[in-house]
Amino acid sequence: MSNPESLLHIDDLMTFMDASPVNFFAVETMRRRLEAADFICLDQSEPWTLEPGGRYYVIKNGSAIFAFVAGNGAPSDGFKIISAHSDSPGFRIKPHAEIAAPGGVLKLNTEVYGGPILYTWFDRPLSIAGRVILRSHDPLHPEHQLVKFDRPLLTIPHLAIHFNRSVNDGNHLSKQKDMLPVLAMINNAAERDNYLINMVADQLGVDRSEILDFDLSLYDTTPACLVGANDEFITSGRLDDLSMAYSALSALLESHDSSMTRVMAVFDNEETGSGTKQGAASPELDYILRRVCSALGGNEEDNLRAIAKSFMVSADNAHGIHPNYPEKQDPTNHPRLGGGPVIKINANCKYMTDADSAAVFRVICERAGVPYQYFVNHSDVAGGSTLGNILTSQIPLRGVDMGAALWAMHSVRETASAIDHEYIIAAFKEFYNC
Ligand code: ZN
């Protein structure tokens, strides 16, 4: 094992975060890294021919990605799976978004995606990224292109304190009134029409009439960086959950072949309940695992035997004890930043962890030489949900919910520990290698 005390991955993690401002770009960043490591793209509408030890990946909707290294044992030997999610809370741009506002400015109509901390989005340099759908000759299969404006384009200006003297005593925010971003100064209302679509067309170098639709989101253009007197902390947008997607991918690329098939599954739409075709509540992963088993020569019984032998690490970030709000945490299980991977436990089964799977992950951490800790909700505080328990309704896997300890989850900028990511990558590698 490499020494996790040295921060081997942290610069690369920050590069990964900055290249991945929204779900579609997170998947594109992972796709490029997989291609560079000789992974082969599989088309779900075509037959699959797989080789033991072969490296493959599948993309769903451009926003979820599943990569695996086929096991070199029997098809029934099973799967080691690490799952994470590509999406983060924020703002999606609505159709017909342009609004001519007082003061000669153009603002955009947006819709909130998931549960962002709204006021962290004020007064920041924001930009736009996502997917644009273009005309093709096949009405069922229009062309998809990614677009990202690599410069600050928008800001959501806060109201001056002079117009709301009690703003610091608590300030209710309307998603429709308070949160709309300003895009441009315009000379007259007629300039408003198609302003955004024209910008997108120019950026892509296509005619405006080619653009049929889009999935575009706002993102904060401030790059990830280290903070702290000793660079102990990493601060970035979207650490939840791209830091875990990065850790899973790094471990997959750095681990060695085994008899079991090693799988990385990065789903979309966790922040809205996972209920899409590319989300964890769909049968997507089940279909992929079945096809892997059969393409390696297994039958239906082999597949069921493989599932019975499999284990999943559901990797999604956890709440670290907050220096200003220690009372929010459980009195005896409060993970700290820098304390290693956090095993998440919930009596009401919001997490898939049980004593058996927690024990498995604990031993993996021990073998990797990294510390580990536990998170359980304060009993008077309702916690969040994640991927693991949703996936087990599709595939009855053994598995553990875990993550890195984080502050300010769902802020436009979250903070975690730098060393925790080395610990987690070391633990994930041990999981794939053991
Ligand atoms: Zn998450």
**What is the CATH classification number for the domain harbouring 59?**
3.40.630.10
Query: Could you give phi then psi for residue 56, rounded to 5 degrees?
Result: -140, 160
pLDDT of residue 5: 60
- The answer to the question of residue 231 being in a domain is no
Indicate whether 256 and 375 sit together in one domain: yes
Ligand 1 center from residue 248 Cα (angstroms): 14
What is the distance in A from the centroid of ligand 1 to the CA of 425?
Answer: 17
Order of strands, edge to edge, in the sheet holding 405-407? 225-227, 233-236, 414-417, 405-407, 318-319
Q: Is the same domain home to 83 and 105?
A: no
Q: Determine the distance separating the centroid of ligand 1 and the alpha carbon of 376, expressed in angstroms.
A: 16
Residue 205's domain is classified under what CATH number? 2.30.250.10
Please state, in angstroms and rounded to a whole number, the distance separating the CA atoms of residues 100 and 194: 12
In a domain, 230, yes or no: no
pLDDT at 393: 86
How close is the Cα of 318 to the center of ligand 1, in Å?
8
Residue 3 lies in a domain: no
* Separation of CA 113 and ligand 1 centre (Å): 13
Closest of 331, 327, 321, 317 to residue 404, by C-alpha: 317
- Measure 244 CA to ligand 1 centroid, in angstroms: 9
**Is 226 inside any structural domain?**
no
- pTM, two decimal places: 0.96
User: In terms of domains, do 170 and 25 share one?
Assistant: no
Domain that holds residue 21: 10-88+237-433
- Which residues are within 5 Å of ligand 1 (an ion), measured at CB? 240-241, 316
Which helix H or strand E contains 250, and what residues bound it?
Answer: helix 239-254
Whether 52 and 109 map to the same domain: the answer is no
Q: How far is the CA of 410 from the centre of ligand 1 (A)?
A: 9
Note whether residue 1 is domain-resident.
no
Pick the last residue of a domain from 163, 194, 220.
220
Cα–ligand 1 centroid distance for 249 (angstroms): 16
Please check whether residues 273 and 206 belong to one and the same domain: no
pLDDT at position 388 is 84
Asked whether residue 72 falls in the same domain as residue 101, the answer is: no
Determine the distance separating the centroid of ligand 1 and the alpha carbon of 409, expressed in angstroms: 8
Q: Write down the pLDDT at residue 354.
A: 94
Distance CA 400, CA 360 (A): 8
Give the Å distance between the CA of 295 and the centre of ligand 1.
32
Ligand 1 midpoint to CA 211 (Å): 32
Residue 240 alpha carbon to ligand 1 centre in Å = 5
Distance (angstroms) between ligand 1 centre and the Cα of 341 equals 15
pLDDT along the chain (434 residues), means of 10: 71 98 98 98 96 97 98 96 98 97 96 97 98 97 97 97 95 96 92 94 97 98 97 97 98 95 97 93 95 96 97 97 94 96 92 95 98 93 82 92 97 98 98 96
CA of 343 to the centre of ligand 1 (A): 14
Cα 408 to ligand 1 centroid, rounded to whole Å: 12
Q: Count how many domains the chain has.
A: 2
* Ligand 1 center from residue 270 Cα (angstroms): 7
Q: How far is CA 221 from the centre of its chain?
A: 17
> Within a domain: residue 131?
yes
Residues 258 and 371 both lie in one domain: yes
**CA 139 to ligand 1 centroid distance, Å:** 35
Measured CA to CA, the distance from residue 290 to residue 44 in angstroms comes to 12
Output the CA 399–ligand 1 centroid distance in Å. Answer: 17
Please give the distance, rounded to the nearest whole angstrom, from the Cα atom of residue 316 to the centre of ligand 1: 5
- Calculate how far, in angstroms, residue 340's C-alpha sits from the geometric centre of ligand 1: 17
> Are 159 and 59 contained in the same domain?
no
Which residues on neighbouring strands pair with residue 85, listed in sequence order?
267
φ and ψ at 24, to 5 degrees?
Answer: -65, -35
Q: Cα of 85 to ligand 1 centre, how many Å? A: 7
The C-alpha atoms of residue 214 and residue 145 are separated, in whole angstroms, by 9
Query: Measuring CA to CA, which residue among 40, 48, 36, 26 is closest to residue 69?
Result: 40
Task: Catalogue the E-assigned strands of 9-125.
Answer: 40-41, 55-60, 64-69, 79-85, 90-101, 105-113
Whether 261 and 382 map to the same domain: the answer is: yes
Distance 184 CA to ligand 1 centre (A): 33
Distance CA 268, CA 404 (A): 19
How remote is the CA of residue 377 from the centroid of ligand 1, in Å? Answer: 16
Same domain, 294 and 427: yes
**102 shares a domain with 58:** no
Please state whether 212 falls in left (phi above 0), alpha (psi between -120 and 50) or beta.
alpha
- Does 107 lie in the same domain as 152? yes
C-alpha 351 – ligand 1 centre gap (Å): 13
Predicted local confidence at residue 382, as pLDDT = 80
Q: Which residues of 176-193 are buried (b: 16+ CB within 10 A; e: fewer)?
A: eebbbbbbbebeeeebbe
Burial class (CB in 10 A: 0-12, 13-18, 19+), 306: buried
Let me know if residue 319 belongs to a domain: yes
The domain boundary, picked from 162, 192, 220, lies at 220
pLDDT of residue 391: 87
pLDDT of residue 6: 83
114 CA distance to ligand 1 centroid (A)? 11
